Structure 1
Amino acid sequence: MITKKNALLCLMLLYSLCTVHSKEKYIGEEYILSPAVSQDSVTEVTREEMKRAMERVYLDKGPKPDATPKPVMEIIEKVKQPDHERWHIKYLVDTDEYAYAYILLPLHRKKGEKLPLVLCPHPTADTGKDRVVGIHKEPAKDAKEQAKRENRQYALHLVRRGFVTFAPDRAAYGERRREGGYANYKKEMAICQQELSKKYPGWGLSGKSVYDLKKALDFLTDIEFVDASNIAIIGHSLGAWDAILLTAFDERVKAAVVNSGGMVNYKPALWKDQNALRNYLSNENYKVGLNVDANFFLRLAAPRAVLYQYSLFDSLNRGNPQLLECFRDLTEYYKKVNKAKKADINYYLHGYGHDFTEESRELAYKWLEKRLFGQSTQK
Structure 2
Amino acid sequence: MKTCCAAFLLFVLPIVAHGQNRKQPELFEVPEIRSSWDDLTEGIQTTEDWQKRRAVLKQRYLDLIRDQHKPEKPPLDLKVHEDVVVDGAYRRKLISYAVESDERAHAYLGIPLDVEMPAPAIVALHGTYKYGKKRVAGLIDNPDKAYLDHLCRRGYVVIAPEHFVSGHRIPPEGPYQTADFYKKHPNWTAVGKFTYEHSIAIDVLQTLDEVDGDRIGALGHSLGGHGTFFLAAYDERVRASACNCGASFFRHNPRVEGWSRNHWYVYFKPIREGLLKKEMPPIDFHEIIALIAPRAFLDLSGLNDGHRPTQHQRLLMLMKVMEVYELQDAADNFGFYVHGRGHSVAHESRQLIYGFMDSHLKPPEVTKTKLVEAAE
TM-score above 0.5: yes
The verdict on how the C-alpha distance between 1:205 and 1:289 changes in structure 2, with shifts beyond 3 A counting, is farther
How far has the Cα of 1:96 moved from its partner?
0.5
Other-structure match for 1:356: 345
Count of residue pairs the alignment pairs up: 304
| Matched residue SS, 1:323 | helix
CA distance in 1, matches of 2:211, 2:298: 23
The verdict on how the C-alpha distance between 1:334 and 1:77 changes in structure 2, with shifts beyond 3 A counting, is same
Other-structure match for 1:63: 70
Other-structure match for 1:130: 134
Q: Any idea what the Cα deviations from partners look like across 1:115-144, whole Å, max 9, x if unmatched? A: 1010001011111200111112xxx7xxxx
Q: Which amino acid aligns with 1:209?
A: F
CA RMSD of superposed structures (Å): 3.1
Q: Which amino acid aligns with 2:349?
A: S
Identity, % of aligned pairs?
29
Other-structure match for 1:238: 223
Instruction: Tell me which of 99, 102, 105 is aligned to 2:105.
Output: 99
The verdict on how the C-alpha distance between 1:217 and 1:290 changes in structure 2, with shifts beyond 3 A counting, is farther
Q: Which amino acid aligns with 1:152?
A: K
CA distance in 2, matches of 1:62, 1:317: 36
Q: Which amino acid aligns with 2:93?
A: W
Q: Does 1:50 align with 2:57?
A: yes
Matched-pair contact (CA < 8 Å) for 1:161–1:378: no
Q: Any idea what the Cα deviations from partners look like across 1:77-100, whole Å, max 9, x if unmatched? A: 211111111011000001110000
The verdict on how the C-alpha distance between 1:321 and 1:216 changes in structure 2, with shifts beyond 3 A counting, is closer
How far has the Cα of 1:62 moved from its partner?
3.1
Other-structure match for 1:251: 236
Other-structure match for 1:189: 176
Give the 5 Å matches for 1:181-220: 181=172, 187-190=174-177, 193-220=178-205
Other-structure match for 1:155: 148
The verdict on how the C-alpha distance between 1:378 and 1:238 changes in structure 2, with shifts beyond 3 A counting, is farther
CA distance in 1, matches of 2:367, 2:332: 24
The verdict on how the C-alpha distance between 1:311 and 1:319 changes in structure 2, with shifts beyond 3 A counting, is same
| Matched residue SS, 2:115 | coil
| Matched residue SS, 2:132 | coil
The verdict on how the C-alpha distance between 1:114 and 1:51 changes in structure 2, with shifts beyond 3 A counting, is same
Give the 5 Å matches for 1:290-301: 293-301=284-292
Unpaired segments ≥5 residues, structure 2: 1-34, 253-270, 370-376
CA distance in 1, matches of 2:129, 2:110: 20
How far has the Cα of 1:71 moved from its partner?
1.2
CA distance in 1, matches of 2:223, 2:143: 17
The verdict on how the C-alpha distance between 1:236 and 1:23 changes in structure 2, with shifts beyond 3 A counting, is closer
CA distance in 1, matches of 2:36, 2:362: 45
CA distance in 2, matches of 1:246, 1:205: 13
Q: Any idea what the Cα deviations from partners look like across 1:5-64, whole Å, max 9, x if unmatched? A: xxxxxxxxxxxxxxxxx999x9xxxxxxxxxxx969xx9862111111111221435324
Matched-pair contact (CA < 8 Å) for 2:206–2:212: yes
TM-score, normalised to structure 2's length? 0.73
TM-score, normalised to structure 1's length? 0.73
Instruction: Tell me which of 121, 125, 128 is aligned to 1:121.
Output: 125
| Matched residue SS, 1:369 | helix
Other-structure match for 1:173: 166
The verdict on how the C-alpha distance between 1:255 and 1:266 changes in structure 2, with shifts beyond 3 A counting, is farther
- 1 or 2 for the larger relative contact order (CA 8 Å, sep ≥6)? 1
Unpaired segments ≥5 residues, structure 1: 1-21, 27-37, 141-148, 268-282
